[in-house]
Structures are given as C-alpha cells and as structure tokens.
Chains A and B, each alone.
Chain A
Amino acid sequence: MHKIVPALLLVFIGLSGIYAADDDFSKLMAFASERYGAEARQDVVELNQLVQKLHSASELEKLKQVNDFFNHKISFTDDLSLWGQSDYWATPLESLGRQAGDCEDFSIAKYVFLKVLNVDNNRMRLTYVRAEILHDGNKSLQAHMVLSYYKTPQSEPLILDNLIPEILPASSRKDLSPIFSFNDKGLWVGSSSKPKGEAQSNLSRWRDVLSRIRADGIK
C-alpha cells in the first residue's frame, strides 16, 4: 500500500509530463520514435519531464541537471565510427537516438536545451579548447569542445564538459586551454530561418546543425 502511492505519483508525474509536453516536444517525440524507436522516445520523454521540472529552478540547477542528463544519456564515440565522417555535428535528437556522440555533440545538446530553459544566450559560449588527456600514463593533446557559462560578461566561466562530468570553474580546469568561442548570436535575424532554397551544403557546420535542430522541432 505504501509502495503504491509513490508509484502512482510517479506515473501521474510522468503522465502530466507527457501531457504537459508543448508542441516542440511532441514533434521531437514523434521523430524520436519514428526514427530511432521506443527507447529514444523514452529518452525524449524523460528530457521533457526534466525541462518541465526545471522551468522554475535556479540557473545553476538547470546547468547541473542538463549537464548530468546528457552526460548520462550519451556515451562518447568519435564521429568517424559513429557517422562515417571525420567531423559530424549531430543534433540533440540524433545524439539521443544513437545514445552516442563526440565532444561537440554533448556541448550542442546542452546549449540547445539550456536555451530551451530560458538561459540567456549571452551567458553561454561553445568553446574550442585544447585538452590534455592522460591515457595510459601518457599525456596527449586533443581538440575538444565544451560549453562555457558566464554568469556575467566579466566573470570566470563554468565549464560543462563530458570528460569531467562535474561542473567546474575554468580556473579548476588546468587541462583545458581555450582557443575560440561562439554562440548563435548574429547568425539568425530575429526568428528568420535560413534563406529558402539555399543548399544545405553551402552552410557552415554551425548554421547547418542549427537549422537541422529547428527542423527537429526545437525552436
């Protein structure tokens, strides 16, 4: 009897989550089950629940939950083995569907859903970093990407990374040195999408993945 109540509660929350799903998520769910099956759909449902839950949470809480969600759901695989091409920027749906991705796929997914959670675009940067990785006792340098969070323009950023799942301030990440950062500011005018008729192959990688994300149903 005591066990049933929380279970019902869970079901209720789950259902309410499903029913509370806005149009973006219903489309995303439909695509997930259509393209990747029930498991992927379940992941999207969970993501939706998370987003619902976090709407009124603090920004730090949002960062933590979103970071954990994607670090947990997506396992690191390099693009070549996953997508058959050396550098492929996947959309969050593709990453969730495959349950795999490389560094920029993690960062893109986190960036996109933090934006969904109304985290200010100006506070986030996708940052190219040079990472020192210890492998079998050998240090190696690797190109990597993380999501940086600036509480204010002048403050030290927090780093959302998949190598170290814990969110740390930049000064604590001696293994990373930043090269260049960007977000989608200045890429899109207002709500206008890419110009019609423009071939997909002519877009930069960044614009390309952004337009594919829109096509998946996330605004």
Chain B
Amino acid sequence: MSLNKKLWIAIIYILILSSGGSFVLSTLFSKHYLEEQLQVKNIDNANSLALTMSQLPKDLATIDLLISAQFDAGHYAYIGLFNPSGELLTERVNTQSHTKAPSWFTRIFTIKTQTGVSEVQDGWSQYGTLKVISNANFAYDKLWESTLFIALWSLVIGLFSCYVGSQTLRKILGPLKDIVDQATAIGENRFITIEEPETTEFKAVVSAMNTLSNRIKNNVQDESVRLEKMRYQANFDQITGLMNHHYFIKSMDSTIAHEEYFNHGVLIVSRLTNLHLIDQSMGYQETNAFLKLIGETLEKACDSQPSLFAGRLNGTDFALFSTIAVDPYTLGNQIKSLLEKLHLPSHNLPNHSELDARFISAAIEVTKADIATKLITRLDSALDEIDVNIHEHILHIINEDAIPSELELSRIQWEILLNSAFTHKRIKFQHYPVVNQMGELIHFESPVRLQLQKNADWLCAGEFLVWAHQLNLMSRLDELVVETAIDLLFIGAQPIGLNVSAEALCNTNFTENVVNLIKRNLSIAHLLYFEVPEKGVFDHFSEFKHFCTMLKNLGCKIGIEHVGSRISSLGELHDVGLDYIKIDASLIRDIHQNEANKTLLGGLCMIAHSIGVLAIAEGVQTINEIEALKLIGIDGMTGPGIQFTQQDLT
C-alpha cells in the first residue's frame, strides 16, 4: 500500500475518532444536562403544587381541579396523588405527547429522571403524597435536534478537514514521486539527478542519490574519454587522424564479412607520389601539416557520406572504402577533385619552385567474396604501373567484368516492389544467435530479408536497404519488422533483436506506432531487443533517449550496435537505462593478437558494467577470439564463429 494511502487512512481514523468522540460526548453531556433540568423541574413542581394544596380546602373537587390545572397548563407526563396509606386518590397521565426522535435513539439515550415527590398537609395531619413526572419528550426532541445538528456539522468539518488534509498531503508528498522515480531509475541503471526537495529527510535521500549518480557519470565519462584516447592511439594514424593500415583492413574485412548488410562496395587508393620531395623542401613539420590537411579532407568526405571510411595505409597511400555500391568512376573522380584542390603552402617553398603535391588514384569494385589485403595489393600494383612523372592526377579504374550485375532496377521499380513486399508482408528474419559466456542464448540477431516478388529470391538487407533509405521507407520497414517480430514471438519464438534505423528513431510517428503496437502485446514485450547503430544514437541523442524511455517502460530491451568509433560519448549513456552495447567487429577482429584492443575492450566492459549494461562482441569468428573475449570479461558474443543449437533450448 502506498504511503499516500496509509496517511489517508490515518487521517480518516483520526477524523472519525475525534469527531465521533466529540459527537458522542456532546450528546451524552446534553442528555445529562437535560436529565438534571427535568429532575429539578419534577422536584420543584411537586413541592409548589403540594404547598398550594396544603393551603387549600381538602375536598376532592378542589384537589382534582388543582391537579388538572397544573397538568393541563404545564408539561407533564404524570401527576398523581396518593393517600398516606399509599392508595391512589387521583391521577393524570399524558398519552398524547410524542417525540420526533426515532425509537432507537430514545432507546440508546434514555433520559432517566426521578419522580418529584412531595407531601400534602391538612393542618397537622398528613393528607397525601404527590408524585410528579415531567414530560421528557421535549428533552428528547431537543436532544435529537442537537444530535442531528452536531452530526451535520461534524460531517461538514470532516469534509473540510479531508480537503485540507489532501492539500497538505499533496504538498508534503509532492517530492516523493520524483524521489521514487529517481530511485527506480537508479535501480534500472539510469543514473539521473534531480533537484533537491526542501524537506530535510527527502533532501538527504535525493542528495545521496544525486551523489551516486554524479559519481557514476563522472567515472563513466572519465573512463570513456581515456578509452577513446587509447583507441585512437592504437588504431589511428597520429599525423593524419585517419585509420591506420591495420585498423582499416580489419574494418573493411569485418564490413565485407557481414553477409546480411554488405553487398557491393568500392575501394579507392590514392598515392601522394612526391612525398619525399615535399619533405625535403618543406621540412618535417610542414609536411606533417600538409598530411594532416589530406586527412581532414578525406575525413570531411566521409562525414558527408556515412557509408564511407578512410585510412592511411602507409606514408604515401590513402584508402577510402564505400560500404555500399556506388559507381567507382564517380566516387574516384570526386576524390580526385578533392585532392587536386590541395596545394602546398607556397610561402614555405624555395623561391621559383614549381613543386606541388601530386596524386594518383586507383579504384576497384568490392564484392562479398573479396579480402581487403588482396584488393589493396592489386590497387598497389596498378598504381605502381602508372608513370610517376606525369603531372596530372591519374585515376585508374580496375574493371572486373566478372562482377555479376545486381538487380538493374529503376528508382520507380524499387519503390513499387518494396511497397508491394511491405504490403504483402513478404518479409522474414535471418537468425544469428547472441550468446552469453556460458553459451546460453541472449537473443537472436534478426536481420530482415525481403522478397520483392512472389517466389523470387530473398534479398539481404544490404541489397535493398540503400533503396529503402533513398525512398524514405525506413520507418515503414522498421514498423513492419516490429509487427513481424511480435507475430513470431506469439507463436513461441526466442527473444528477437531488431535494428532500428536513425531515420525511424527521428520519426515520432514510428516511436508512437511501435509503442501502441507493443502495448497491445505487453506479454511479449520483454522478448523484444531494439538496437540502434552507434552513429544514429549519438547524432540523435534526445530522440534516442525518448525512444528508450518509451520502450523501457513497456519492458523492452534497448541496445546500441556497432559501438567503437564514438567511445568518448559513452559517458552520456549513464542516465538512459540501456540494456546492452554491441561492440563493433573491427575492434573484435583478431583480438587475441592485439594487446591494445584487449585493454580497450576491457575498459569498455568496465564502463558498461558500471552502468549496468551488457557488453556484447560483434563479428566473432574464431575460437581464439572467443577465448580471448571470455578472459576480457565480455558478456555476450555474436558472429560467424558463434554456434547455437536449438536443442540446447527448452
């Protein structure tokens, strides 16, 4: 029972006791007072009538008249005269008087009075005894009226007290809801802070919880900044800020290896052919500044197209990888023109020098079957064959006719086919298990597949996502995915992990629709795991927080996937109440051989655990990786190397 209810019950008890008590007491006092008055009236009237009779002639007619006069003019229930031997001489009994008070009332509060008795003298001799009983009905009426009046006022005062009580309770308990919410949030690993209320006790509690939240927040923030620095040092080129050779290759490989999301890509390698000349004429520092400029230029290109990432393969070679299918010639030209705009700062060069940066580039299409190192070698040898004395920027495209042409469909056709697939729900999930250290299932990562036409091939996400994205159909797709997942869960499916795109996240209708959908199926809500890509989370953080709050309230699980490039932002997650993060495959690949990444991963796990979040490794391939990850203390793993057999269930 809530504190509010308990206090209400206490207030009502007190009200009933105090008003009921004063009510009964006042009735009893009134009754007592009335009894007193009636008693005095009985005695006085008996005495005065007896006194009058004693002075008058004692014939029965006079006596009778006297008694009648007294009885008829006054308020009596009974007047009787008895002779000294106790025999009745005459009497009057009132049979007409009634009281307004109900009989149960007169039974409970009976007014008991004593008969007024007085002696009538006839000279020296005794004439008789007079007995007088006053009519108590007037007293009953008065008592009943005053009781009703008091009851009514008790009620009015009681209601008023309730009103005042409710206002007071609201004021006192107002901050309590916030405090409970904060405590609940902390219990759910959302380390939020709230304003301290004024009540001393509440203030102490909130202050303690705020301190806890702030400590966690600071720890996570400090640690994530430290890890980011570490990640940068281990995986990035210190001069240009681009990925180093090692990390670029791993990132590329792990992208290509993702059979669901990768279809075709393009790799471009650009070479600064006259680096040694530049170095000689400008000196070490200026050369580095120029290299940094190149890095920034490529980085800018990547930022404008999320599907691109860039790296520095060695001193002179820069690489750019597009994870989606683009025309190699177009992309190559784009890069070429970007690089051509870079000129050496002339004031640093010896006079009349014609020296300028000279680039050559080569591009090649990438398919699922490719391996990063082999492609780079091919591009390398292609660049080697170009005559370095030519001053123009040469772009060489390696055409592989062997690449099977993908579905050659126009934009309109894609729109029609995707819509029809959505309408007819030609959708299914692939299942990739995510297991914990003991090999138990956490959930199935469930990338979506679509059938554009009836009985046609099922397309991987990588094949249609680009188009869905371009046609603004992502929210629709994600809603359909949630619907399908709910249907599956209802027929007994294992927990399902679903991807939510950044587009869907920013679409308020999407969140609303999903929430309504799940509200109707609350029993399976806890089996739904929603995961948003790291980039989407931090680019649209407030929307992500809103999404989290809404879905966490329903009991769903929320995670972030492909974590790795925005580690310093992890500190912001302390008050979100996240359930898990999936660490990008590029950090996992060959983890057993990479001490720096081991340390990085250990740190990530620690941050995650301190805010109650599970750390899961993506793209795990080999047994060596699995062993190393277990030692690091990762909570879950997924990838081609992770097997999970259904018979382990039930």
Q: Residues of A at under 8 Å CB distance from B? A: 125, 127, 148, 150, 153-154, 156-157, 170-171, 178-183, 185-187, 189, 195, 198, 204
Q: Which chain B residue shows the least CB distance to A159?
A: B124
In the complex, A198 Cα to B125 Cα: how many Å? 36
Residues of chain A with a CB closer than 8 A to B115's CB? 186
Q: Which of B32, B43, B121, B123 contacts A187 (CB 8 A)?
A: B43
Q: Which of A180, A195, A204 contacts B50 (CB 8 A)?
A: A180
In the complex, A170 Cα to B124 Cα: how many Å? 7
In contact, B124 and A148 (Cβ under 8 angstroms) = yes
In contact, B126 and A182 (Cβ under 8 angstroms) = no
Q: Which of A148, A179, A186, A189 contacts B116 (CB 8 A)?
A: A186
In the complex, A137 Cα to B119 Cα: how many Å? 36
- B594 at interface, CB cutoff 8 A: no
**9 A-B pairs whose Cβ atoms sit less than 8 Å apart in the complex:** A125-B121, A178-B123, A180-B50, A180-B51, A181-B119, A183-B119, A186-B46, A186-B114, A186-B118
Q: Residues of B at under 8 Å CB distance from A? A: 32, 36, 43, 46-47, 50-51, 54-55, 83-85, 114-119, 121, 123-126
Q: Which chain B residue shows the least CB distance to A156?
A: B124
Residues of chain B with a CB closer than 8 A to A156's CB? 124-125
Q: Which of A170, A180, A185, A186 contacts B54 (CB 8 A)?
A: A180
Q: Which chain B residue shows the least CB distance to A173?
A: B124
- Give chain B's interface secondary structure class: mixed
In the complex, A181 Cα to B51 Cα: how many Å? 8
| Top-5 shortest CB links A-B | A153-B84, A186-B117, A170-B124, A180-B51, A181-B121
Residues of chain A with a CB closer than 8 A to B55's CB? 179
Q: Which of B36, B116, B121, B126 contacts A180 (CB 8 A)?
A: B121
Residues of chain A with a CB closer than 8 A to B43's CB? 186-187, 204
In contact, A154 and B124 (Cβ under 8 angstroms) = no
In the complex, A17 Cα to B579 Cα: how many Å? 104
In the complex with contacts A153-B84, A154-B84, A187-B43, A182-B119 CB distance below 8 A: yes
Q: Which of A153, A178, A187, A198 contacts B124 (CB 8 A)?
A: A178
Residues of chain B with a CB closer than 8 A to A148's CB? 124
In the complex with contacts A154-B126, A170-B124, A180-B54, A185-B117 CB distance below 8 A: yes
Residues of chain B with a CB closer than 8 A to A186's CB? 43, 46, 114-118
Q: How many residue pairs, one in A and one in B, have C-beta atoms under 8 Å apart?
A: 52
Q: Which chain A residue shows the least CB distance to B86?
A: A153
Residues of chain B with a CB closer than 8 A to A182's CB? 47, 118-119
In contact, B125 and A154 (Cβ under 8 angstroms) = yes
In the complex with contacts A185-B117, A189-B114, A153-B85 CB distance below 8 A: yes
Residues of chain A with a CB closer than 8 A to B117's CB? 185-186
Q: Which chain B residue shows the least CB distance to A197?
A: B32
Residues of chain A with a CB closer than 8 A to B121's CB? 125, 127, 178-181
In the complex, A160 Cα to B83 Cα: how many Å? 24
In the complex, A170 Cα to B122 Cα: how many Å? 13
In the complex with contacts A180-B54, A182-B47, A186-B114, A150-B119 CB distance below 8 A: no
In the complex, A12 Cα to B123 Cα: how many Å? 47
Distance (Å) between the CB of B597 and the closest chain A CB? 94
- Give chain A's interface secondary structure class: loop
Distance (Å) between the CB of A11 and the closest chain B CB? 45
Residues of chain B with a CB closer than 8 A to A181's CB? 54, 119, 121
In the complex with contacts A153-B84, A154-B126, A198-B36 CB distance below 8 A: yes
Residues of chain A with a CB closer than 8 A to B126's CB? 125, 150, 153-154
In the complex, A171 Cα to B124 Cα: how many Å? 8
Distance (Å) between the CB of A8 and the closest chain B CB? 47
Distance (Å) between the CB of B38 and the closest chain A CB? 13
Residues of chain B with a CB closer than 8 A to A198's CB? 36
Q: Which of B47, B54, B114, B125 contacts A179 (CB 8 A)?
A: B54
Q: Which chain B residue shows the least CB distance to A195?
A: B36
In the complex, A93 Cα to B121 Cα: how many Å? 30
Distance (Å) between the CB of B47 and the closest chain A CB? 7
Residues of chain A with a CB closer than 8 A to B125's CB? 154, 156-157
Residues of chain A with a CB closer than 8 A to B83's CB? 153
In the complex, A185 Cα to B32 Cα: how many Å? 22
In the complex, A75 Cα to B119 Cα: how many Å? 30
In the complex with contacts A180-B51, A186-B43, A187-B43, A125-B123 CB distance below 8 A: no
Residues of chain B with a CB closer than 8 A to A180's CB? 50-51, 54, 121
Distance (Å) between the CB of B154 and the closest chain A CB? 25
In the complex, A69 Cα to B356 Cα: how many Å? 154
In the complex, A153 Cα to B129 Cα: how many Å? 11
Q: Which chain A residue shows the least CB distance to B113?
A: A189
In the complex, A181 Cα to B117 Cα: how many Å? 12
In the complex, A180 Cα to B120 Cα: how many Å? 7
Q: Which chain A residue shows the least CB distance to B39?
A: A195
In the complex, A61 Cα to B499 Cα: how many Å? 124
In the complex, A123 Cα to B85 Cα: how many Å? 12
Residues of chain B with a CB closer than 8 A to A150's CB? 126
Distance (Å) between the CB of B413 and the closest chain A CB? 105
Given A154-B126, A185-B119, 13 extra CB contacts under 8 A: A153-B84, A153-B85, A170-B124, A178-B54, A178-B121, A178-B123, A180-B50, A180-B121, A185-B117, A186-B114, A186-B115, A195-B32, A198-B36
Residues of chain A with a CB closer than 8 A to B32's CB? 195
The CB with the most chain A CB atoms within 10 A, among B32, B36, B114, B126, is that of: B126
Residues of chain A with a CB closer than 8 A to B46's CB? 186
Q: Which chain B residue shows the least CB distance to A171?
A: B124
Residues of chain A with a CB closer than 8 A to B118's CB? 182, 186
Residues of chain A with a CB closer than 8 A to B54's CB? 178-181
Q: Which chain A residue shows the least CB distance to B36?
A: A195
In the complex, A24 Cα to B3 Cα: how many Å? 63
Distance (Å) between the CB of A133 and the closest chain B CB? 19
Distance (Å) between the CB of B126 and the closest chain A CB? 5
Distance (Å) between the CB of B133 and the closest chain A CB? 12
Residues of chain A with a CB closer than 8 A to B116's CB? 186
In contact, B51 and A157 (Cβ under 8 angstroms) = no
The CB with the most chain A CB atoms within 10 A, among B32, B36, B50, B114, is that of: B114
In the complex, A125 Cα to B84 Cα: how many Å? 13
In the complex with contacts A150-B126, A153-B84, A125-B119 CB distance below 8 A: yes
The CB with the most chain B CB atoms within 10 A, among A154, A179, A180, A187, is that of: A180
